Amino acid sequence: MKHITDISELKTIINQYKSVGKSIGFVPTMGFLHEGHLTLADKASKENDIAVMSIFVNPAQFGPGEDFEAYPRDLERDTKLAENAGIDLLFTPSADSMYNCDPNVAVQVKRRTDVLCGRSREGHFDGVATVLTKFFNLIKPERAYFGLKDAQQVAVVDGLISDFFMDIELVGVDTVREEDGLAKSSRNVYLTEKERNEAPRLYKALQQGAELIRAGERNPEAVIKAAADIIGTTSGAIDYVELYSYPELTKQDKLEGKVILAAAVKFSKARLIDNIIIDIHEMERI
């Protein structure tokens, strides 16, 4: 595995890959890798000639009071995990190299951001879209891999690729979970023992909502209430439980098409998110 920090060196190597017709799969991460990231890496490795991973804690997507400095980092560990997962090229740039001056242009996301996590994280997805535009231009991937645990991010990236006519296939990969259903996350390490025991109820709540939809419930408020009632039995504070069309992330009076049931819960030192995506049309055809 090649490990690169310099942008010029990255460009040279990417151009070499492209000159001999090698396909590139790209896995962008902020590091502190867990099984979810490694699943993306494995898939990228199997579906492309070259698998590229970035590790970059992007300051542009952290707002005031958020955990940029506290975000867990362990590059030595991550490097070994990335290589073992089949990554061919690991790119770990500095913040100065990615944002080396006052920007002339930045990407502003106009839709799909005023709900779910985006509602309380003003500017977050602008930072995500800006850094991904930089990475996509540098790495020139045929495919980019994202975990569906952060389904709002996937929806935003879908819009970015579509609106800017990027020749990139967006590959959304199902959430990787612990045996008890808890979605794997770098922030799980901040849960107390009691909170860790309660946290799987988040997924159980979403499953209950999905079951109601499969049983024929089409009133979004009824589904939301059923999920919220279960989450409310934890010691965490509910940030949101919401139900929208997907990937448009718009409200529906009556559920139809593909929808997302998503929730966020704040525990003492960790905010957990999770979701379930349900294709009602596909379900009704079965």
Q: Which residue numbers belong to the known binding site for beta-alanine?
A: 61
Here the tokens at position 236 are: 């965490």
CB 160, CB 110: distance < 8 Å = no
CA 153 to chain CA centroid, Å, is 5
Instruction: Find the Cα–Cα–Cα–Cα dihedral 106, 109, 114, 118, rounded to 10°.
Output: -60
Q: Residue ranges for the binding site for ATP?
A: 30-37, 147-150, 176, 184-187
- DSSP-assigned beta bridge partners for residue 60: none
Here the tokens at position 74 are: 């362990």
State the Cα–Cα distance between residues 166 and 139, nearest whole angstrom.
13
State the Cα–Cα distance between residues 88 and 82, nearest whole angstrom.
9
Q: Per the residue annotation, which of 3, 37, 124, 281 is the catalytic one?
A: 37
> Known catalytic residue: 3?
no
State the Cα–Cα distance between residues 226 and 22, nearest whole angstrom.
49
Here the tokens at position 85 are: 């997962």
- DSSP-assigned beta bridge partners for residue 143: 25, 169
Here the tokens at position 111 are: 């839709």
Q: Residue ranges for the binding site?
A: 30-37, 61, 147-150, 153, 176, 184-187
State the Cα–Cα distance between residues 48 and 218, nearest whole angstrom.
40
Strands 143-147 and 258-266: unpaired
3-state SS assignment for residue 254? coil
For residue 213, the 8-state DSSP code is: H
CA 265 to chain CA centroid, Å, is 17
State the Cα–Cα distance between residues 93 and 131, nearest whole angstrom.
12
Q: Residue ranges for the binding site for (R)-pantoate?
A: 61, 153
- DSSP-assigned beta bridge partners for residue 28: 54
Which residues carry out catalysis?
37
